[in-house]
Every structure is written in C-alpha cells, then in structure tokens.
C-alpha cells in the first residue's frame, strides 16, 4: 500500500496560492463545515461542537438516512457512541445487543467468538442516523439536510464550501461524503484501486432473531451476514466479489447460495427493500490538505468483511473533533492537521491487517478450510483476534485510513441499478 505523501497535494498548494491574492479576510461563519451527515460526519460534528466549535453539517439527503450496511456495531463503535453521548439516544426497540460472531460453513459447521466489552450492537441505519442527528442538534450543530456540497475553494484564512443552497465559509471543511466521495476526488487525494471489486447488498426480514450473534454464512467468495436489529427484525447483508461486471443483481438469487439461511428466512416477509453499495475498495494518498480533511469511508476503505466501517467512521469523527480546536488555532494547515492523519492511520492499519487476512481466507478455499479448522480446534484464537482488532483506543489514538478509490464507481447511497 502506498505511503501517504508528507507534503500538501499540488492542488492544495495551488488553492492556497490563488487565495493569497483573493483573500477577503472576512471571518468565516463557522469553524467547521461538514459535508455528509453519515456516522463519520455527524460524529465529527458532535465531537467538535462538544469542544466549543461552531459547526454546520450539509447532508444531500434528508435525515434520517438509510444505507446498505450489515448494521453490526463492533465494540469500538459502541464505545465511540458512548463518548459522544449518542448511545443513550438510540431507540431501544430499534436495536439488539450482540454477543459475538458465529462463522457458519456451507455444511453447517460453525465456530464462534465472544466480543470483548462492551459487546456489540445491531442497529438499523435509520435508527442510528436518528440518534446521531438528535445528539448533534443537542450539541449545537446546525444540520442542513437536502443540501449537497458540490465543490470548495480554499482561501488563506478560510475555506468556502459550494453547496446546492449557496456558499458556506468555515475554517475547515470535513469531507465525510462516503465511499464514492466527490470531494476526495476534487482534493486530488484519491488513488486508483487495485484488486477484486467487491460489492454488498442488504435487506431486512421480519422474524424474531434466533441468535444474539452476528452470523456469517460462507459460500465460496460470498458471505451473508445476519444481524439482529430489533425484537422482530434481522438484517441480511450479502458481500460478493464481482467476477463479470453486471448491473443486474438480485438479492433473492444471492440468498439462494446460502441454503441453510434461505430455508430459515423462507417464510419471513421482507421488511425493507434491497440496497446495494460498492465497489468497496477505495484508496487515498492522504487524509488532509490545507483546511481540508477526509473522514469515514471517504478517507479510504477496504471491505465490509470484518464489520468495522462504523467503528472507523465514528472513531475518525471523534478523533477529528478532538484535534480540530488546536489545528484551527494553528491555521488549519496541512501540518496542523497531520496529527489527525497520524491518529487515523494507526487505527486503519489494524483494520487493514484483519480485513486483508479475512479476505485472503475467503478468496482461497485451502486457506479458508485451514483457518476454519484451526479456529475449531482453538476457539480461543478467534476471541484473541477480535480482542486485538477491537482493542480499546482512546480517541487520541483512534482511527486511520489508507488509500483507495473506485474504478467506475457507482453511487453507494442508492440501490444498485437493477437490484430487485
Ligand atoms: C454491504 C455493507 C455492509 C456493511 N456492514 C457493516 C457492518 O456490519 N458494520 C460496520 O461497522 N460497517 C459496515 N459497513 C461499512 C459502513 O456502512 C460504513 O463504513 C459507514 O457507513 C461509513 O460512514 P460514513 O459516514 O463515512 O459514510 P456514509 O454512511 O456513506 O455517509 C456519507 C453521507 O454523505 C452524504 N453525502 C454524499 N455526498 C455528499 C455531498 N456531496 N454533499 C453532502 N452530503 C453528501 C451521503 O448522503 C451520506 O449520508 C458495511 C458496508 C457495506 C457496503
């Protein structure tokens, strides 16, 4: 994986130089403007507002926001929600405690591991979005939904976000605009993605959860994740590797690849329509530029196979909120923001190691069979691996991101074309 550049991207320097001539020296209306009201954007906004900064969030859709997701919050995500004061706002009827992960092979053989404290949480994205938005408003964040950030311009003393509803000036622009981030591209922080193209699709079913574990059904290079998200609803997310490019994807057809699961769900009515996302692999060459920061999926993503995206998104938001007051005091230069990049990189490296290991096992049947056999013989190993992957890191140590970007990316917030 390519190392991050230690200097500002060329585009960033160009912006700054252009600004010096054009600086209007008017004080910006906000300290921070956030593009994207997903978990990364809202957690960054909350954390920054909790530290006294004036924050506006521009979200192109209307809150609360649904998204293709397995909806399993791993222990670090639960801890991050606690830290920003949002966990208590989650509707109890719209979530379920998760005790751990159970991996289930085609023939039904299973191995499981218990989560470290504080355990996990299955939460529908709509419910999570509702709680985060409520907490953000409580903290004094101004949320502008139905407002897309279409571009930006950096000046010496401020950054101007161009939105569908006019311009907003701030000290810093946080681009938390998701997997296919437009702002990442505009900031020249993206790198081409190399590797298999993997996608995901999800649907909910009305059926009482039969387990307090996230169940992962494995069929070749496909995995189906079952997450309890309420007393009578489970979410099913299927991840797969694209062999032949196709826009026609059918959730039903994919579900049939997992006969044990398909049988269980045969009589359960669908409780949502299918939503797809991908390709998942996104590379970046850095997470900061002058007065500009990437957060969450926008800052790079590998795969959903380990269910850590929300942990990274929330932790990166939290880390950013902690670092921003000082960085702004120092002029929000690349250098001042580099601390955030270091913090998120540390966390991302851990995610990259676990995700790559699991992806390798899923791609090569021999490695897969071998690792399942090892885990069956030494079940404690699974728990130790989770303990390592979900280690408690204070926000100051949290999150990192490496490099990834789409080749022919599709809009991940919308259902894939042809998804039925
Ligand atoms: C199939 C699948 C299953 C997954 N399962 C899990 C799981 O079980 N557990 C887990 O932890 N993670 C999972 N993930 C990952 C997780 O969904 C993401 O990591 C997480 O949503 C990232 O949050 P974010 O805020 O960075 O991005 P998003 O949640 O995508 O939010 C970005 C927001 O920005 C908005 N936006 C985009 N462009 C603009 C713009 N120009 N202006 C204004 N707003 C804009 C979008 O509308 C969106 O609301 C899964 C991902 C996939 C694809």
Distance CA 236, CA 332 (A): 42
Residues in the chain: 420
pLDDT for the residue numbered 328: 97
Find the 297 Cα to ligand 1 centroid distance in Å. 6
- Helix (H), strand (E) at residue 153: strand 149-154
Q: Sign of the CA dihedral 382, 383, 388, 394?
A: positive
> Which CATH superfamily is 10-397 part of?
FAD/NAD(P)-binding domain (3.50.50.60)
Find the 14 Cα to ligand 1 centroid distance in Å. 30
Cis peptide before 321 (omega within 30 of 0): no
**pLDDT at 16 exceeding the cut of 70:** no
**pLDDT at 25 exceeding the cut of 70:** no
pLDDT grade for 221, boundaries at 50, 70 and 90: confident
Among 30-34, 316-320, 359-363, the minimum mean pLDDT is found in 359-363
Find the 413 Cα to ligand 1 centroid distance in Å. 8
Cβ atoms of 154 and 170 within 8 Å: the answer is no
Selected residue with higher pLDDT from 243 and 188: 188
pLDDT digits (tens, 9 = 90+) for 97-138: 999 999 998 888 899 999 999 999 999 999 999 999 999 999
Helices (H) and strands (E) in the chain, counts: 11, 20
Output the residue whose Cα is nearest ligand 1's atom 31: 38
Find the 296 Cα to ligand 1 centroid distance in Å. 8
Find the 333 Cα to ligand 1 centroid distance in Å. 27
179, 161, 152: which is closest to 38 by C-alpha?
Answer: 179
pLDDT digits (tens, 9 = 90+) for 266-284: 999 999 999 999 999 999 9
Cβ atoms of 93 and 231 within 8 Å: the answer is yes
Distance CA 49, CA 58 (A): 15
Entry pTM: 0.89
pLDDT digits (tens, 9 = 90+) for 310-352: 999 999 999 999 999 999 999 999 999 999 999 999 999 999 9
Environment class of residue 62 by beta-carbon count within 10 Å: exposed (0-12), middle (13-18) or buried (19+)? exposed
Domains of the chain, residue spans: 10-397
Q: In the numeric block, which tokens belong to residue 2?
A: 């390519």
Find the 38 Cα to ligand 1 centroid distance in Å. 6
Nearest 5°: the CA angle 159, 32, 75 is: 135
**Residue list, ligand 1 pocket, CB within 6 Å:** 35-41, 58-61, 65, 67-72, 74, 77, 148-149, 176-179, 182, 200, 202, 237, 239, 277, 280, 296-298, 304, 307-311, 313, 413
Rounded to 10 deg, the angle between the 379-389 and 334-363 helix axes is 160
**Of ligand 1's atoms, which has the minimum distance to the CA of residue 280?**
53
**Of ligand 1's atoms, which has the minimum distance to the CA of residue 74?**
11
Task: List, in sequence order, every residue forming a beta bridge with 205; answer none if it has no partner.
Answer: 234, 270
């Amino acid at each position: 994986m390519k190392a991050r550049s230690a200097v500002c991207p060329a585009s960033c320097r160009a912006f700054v130089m252009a600004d010096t001539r054009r600086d209007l020296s008017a004080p910006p209306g906000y300290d921070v403007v956030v593009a994207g009201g997903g978990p990364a954007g809202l957690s960054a906004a909350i954390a920054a507002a909790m530290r006294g900064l004036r924050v506006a969030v521009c979200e192109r859709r209307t809150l609360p926001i649904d998204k293709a997701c397995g909806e399993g919050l791993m222990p670090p995500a639960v801890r991050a929600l606690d830290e920003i004061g949002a966990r208590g706002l989650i509707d109890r009827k719209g979530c379920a405690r998760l005790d751990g992960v159970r991996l289930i092979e085609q023939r039904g053989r299973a191995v499981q591991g218990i989560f470290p404290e504080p355990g996990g949480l299955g939460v529908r994205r709509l419910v999570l979005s509702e709680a985060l938005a409520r907490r953000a408003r409580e903290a004094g964040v101004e949320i502008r939904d139905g407002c897309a950030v279409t571009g930006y311009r950096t000046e010496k003393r401020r950054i101007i976000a161009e939105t569908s509803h006019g311009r907003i000036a701030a000290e810093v622009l946080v681009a938390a605009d998701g997997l296919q981030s437009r702002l990442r591209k505009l900031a020249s922080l993206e790198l081409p993605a190399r590797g298999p193209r993997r996608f995901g699709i999800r649907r909910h079913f009305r059926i009482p959860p039969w387990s307090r574990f996230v169940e992962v059904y494995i069929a070749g290079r496909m995995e189906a994740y079952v997450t309890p998200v309420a007393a009578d609803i489970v979410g099913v997310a299927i991840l797969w590797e694209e062999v032949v490019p196709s826009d026609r994807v059918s959730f039903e057809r994919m579900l049939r690849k997992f006969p044990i699961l398909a049988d269980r769900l045969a009589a359960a009515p669908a409780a949502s329509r299918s939503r797809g996302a991908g390709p998942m692999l996104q590379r970046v060459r850095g997470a900061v530029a002058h007065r500009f920061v990437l957060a969450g999926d926008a800052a790079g993503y590998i795969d959903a196979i380990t269910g850590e995206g929300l942990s990274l998104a929330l932790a990166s938001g939290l880390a950013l909120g902690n670092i921003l007051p000082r960085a702004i005091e120092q002029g929000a230069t690349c250098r001042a923001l580099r601390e955030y990049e270091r913090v998120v990189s540390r966390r991302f490296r851990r995610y990259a190691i676990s995700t790559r290991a699991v992806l390798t096992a899923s791609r090569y049947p021999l490695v897969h069979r071998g690792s399942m056999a090892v885990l069956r013989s030494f079940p404690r190993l699974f728990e130790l691996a989770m303990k390592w992957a979900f280690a408690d890191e204070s926000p100051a140590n949290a999150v990192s991101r490496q490099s990834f970007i789409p080749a022919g990316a599709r809009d991940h917030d919308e259902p894939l074309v042809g998804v039925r």
